[in-house]
Structure 1
Amino acid sequence: MRRNARTTTLGAAVLAATLLLAGCSAGSLATGDSGPVGDEQSVPVAPEMQGGDSATDGGTGFAAEERARDVIVTGSMTVTADDPIAAARDAVRLVESAGGRIDGRTEYAPANGDAGSATLILRIPAERLQAVLDDLAALGRADEISTSTSDVTVLVTDLESRIATQRGIIDRLNTMFERATTIDDLITLETTIAQHQATLEDLEAQQRSVSDQVALSTISLYLRSEAEAPKQEPMDFLSGLSAGWSAFVAFFSGLLVALGVLLPWLIAAGLISAAIVLIVRRNRRRNAAKTAS
């Protein structure tokens, strides 16, 4: 009975410590930022900084500078280049020289009259994104560039708070583990610590993933040749005349190509036809000679 009473008391103590630390974390979240940080929103300064000079903060009690937001940037880019494969190599050098990396790369060899193509998944440092995009656009003709942002400031803050809570719980449980005197107490504490450790590791993995996405923007780059690019419609008389002339030249060029392909077959067919005609005529002459005799 005494051992069961000690186990029950220990379990209650573990539960109380867990709830106390979790409650402290929830209280800190309730008093913090409850939504995404907007472009016009400020964050309250720490207590030791409040009540400062009104010339610095305007007497409002808010920080002079807005807290930096955590933003994930993703996008896509399509560039038409004379040699997409060579342009892909240049793109890799540009990204790596900026401190980024390549998470995916697919290249297609020239076929059907084009010069090949390439698709790259680029991870570019957020602070260098615009400069690298400008350099990538210079590899050819930038036909499409699009980016989107996702503000994860609240998620980052929540993960930080939850990680701190789990670490506090684990520290408290480790202290209780060192003071435990029975096998049942040790088993109960060890199981509880393992559960919270697994939760902590999962939260830390999420934090690393989000931090990587914030630090390195993800851009999907598609490099293609002019043969794959959509044809641009003429917008004025001169461009229409140029398009018409190009179509005229292309038609006769295609006709000459077709003639070159068919010419060997036409020659062979002509020779066979001539041989057949000669054989038919020779047979007719023989038949006519036999009839006359």
Structure 2
Amino acid sequence: MTRSRLALAPVAAVAATLLLAGCSAGAVESGSDSGGGWSGEFEPGMPAPDMPVTDGDLGGDGASRDEGGPISAPAPGDGRQVITTGWMYFTVEAPLDAATEAARITERVGGRVDGRTEYAPRSNDAGGAELVLRIPSAQLQPVIDELKELGELEELSLSASDVTREVQDLDARIGALEASLDRLLALLVQADDIDDLITLESVVADRQGQLESLQAQRRSLADRVSLSTLTLTLGSEAVAPPTEPGSFLDGLRQGWEALVTFGSAALVLTGILLPWLAVLGMIGLIVWVSVRVARRRRGSRAPNTTGAQQPTAQQ
């Protein structure tokens, strides 16, 4: 009976290989089974094998497969994947009302507000606000144009980072891991030896963890590509950044304002230091009087001591 099983083992291995090749549809590797169906090709901790990635492996449109639906954002016409970030500063009459309007503009185009900080009005200004806006990349410029109507634009900065190669690399690695998992799961179904089952389950768990990590990175990149990040700062006229003087009179006015500001700060500093200076002056006066008194006492004692020693010298 044992010899019969050994004789049939090569036939079963060939049949299993043909079955796996027909189900994989595009896989370029085929394991050579032995006995219980474990090929010994994959070991725990080994990196995913390099495999060609086709449109079929990536779902037809370049997006990695995922049970939660497509995770890649629509790419621009040239296929580039670009992450855009920006920063804007506005001077407005009512910063808190302008912040509400900016949030409304962002949400109307399908974006969202990821962060919002507001500063209450004080005696010398009307408050302020800072918002972190996530805007659909295709709508970024129209939204910026609409935000410019909130007030006076002081500063604007935009930067773009091309992550096309990183996205392609992640897609290829995800496709390779998914193909590897498909083959391992097929081997796991055929395995009948307990040692093979334990080894296969360990490898499958390791590959599944790697796949989920790569898919999380891919989703994060897709979110940052599809939604641009714009940090919007809103301030009142009192806290607006200073502008460069455009004429001699403007420079003279700014110089006078700087001098007045310096004088006010100097007066405040003098008021703070004056009590300390008074206390230090009193302490210095006490020390000086004590030193003077001590010197006078030593000066008055010196003649008496000299007069007392003269008779002894005559004797």
Instruction: Report the TM-score when normalising by structure 1.
Output: 0.63
Q: CA deviation at 1:180?
A: 0.4
**1:23 and 2:50 are equivalent in the alignment:** yes
2:97 counterpart residue number: 86
Give the AA of the match of 1:73. Answer: T
| 1:106 corresponds to | 117
Q: What is the aligned-residue identity percentage?
A: 45
Distance of aligned partners of 1:156 and 1:233 in 2 relative to their CA distance in 1, 3 Å threshold: closer
- Aligned with residue 180 of structure 1, among 184, 191, 209: 191
Offset from partner CA, 1:83-120 (integer Å, 9 cap, x none) = 00000000000000011000000000012410000000
Matched residue type, 2:38: L
Distance 1:66 1:118 in 2: 36
CA contact (8 A) 2:37 2:191 kept: no
Q: Quick check: 1:7–1:184 contact (8 Å CA) kept in 2?
A: no
> Deviations 1:183-219 (Å, cap 9, x if unpaired)?
1111111110000000000000000000000000001
Amino acid paired to 1:23: D
Which of these residues, 205, 210, 231, is aligned with residue 194 of structure 1? 205
Aligned residue for 2:237, secondary structure, equals coil
State the Cα deviation string for residues 32-69 of structure 1 (Å, max 9, x = none): xxxxxxxxxxxxxxxxxxxxxxxxxxxxxxxxx97320
Deviation, 1:233, is 4.4
Number of the residue aligned with 2:181: 170
Shift of 1:13: 3.2
Show CA shifts across 1:210-257 (max 9, x none): 00000000011100000001333442367679x59x97xx99xx9xxx
- Separation in 1 of the partners of 2:94 and 2:241? 17
Across the aligned residues of Structure 1 and Structure 2, the Cα RMSD in angstroms comes to 3.2
Secondary structure of the 2:103 match is helix
Is contact 1:7-1:185 (8 Å) kept? no
Partner Cα separation in structure 2 for residue 108 and residue 125 of structure 1: 27
What is the aligned partner in structure 1 of residue 284 from structure 2?
none
| Equivalent of 1:230 in 230, 241, 265 | 241
Q: Distance in 1 between matches of 2:133 and 2:112?
A: 6
**Cα distance, 1:66–1:75 mapped onto 2, change above 3 Å:** closer
Structure 2 SS opposite 1:10:
coil
Gaps of 5+ in 2: 1-5, 7-33, 55-75, 265-315
The 1:12/1:240 distance shift into structure 2, 3 A limit, reads closer
Equivalenced residue count is 205
Contact 2:37 2:187 (8 Å CA) reproduced: no
- The 5 A counterparts of 1:1-293 are 10=38, 12-15=40-43, 22-25=49-52, 67-236=78-247
Q: Which stretches in structure 1 are left out of the alignment for 5+ residues?
A: 30-64, 255-293
Q: Kindly provide the amino acid, as one letter, of the partner of residue 128 in structure 2.
A: S
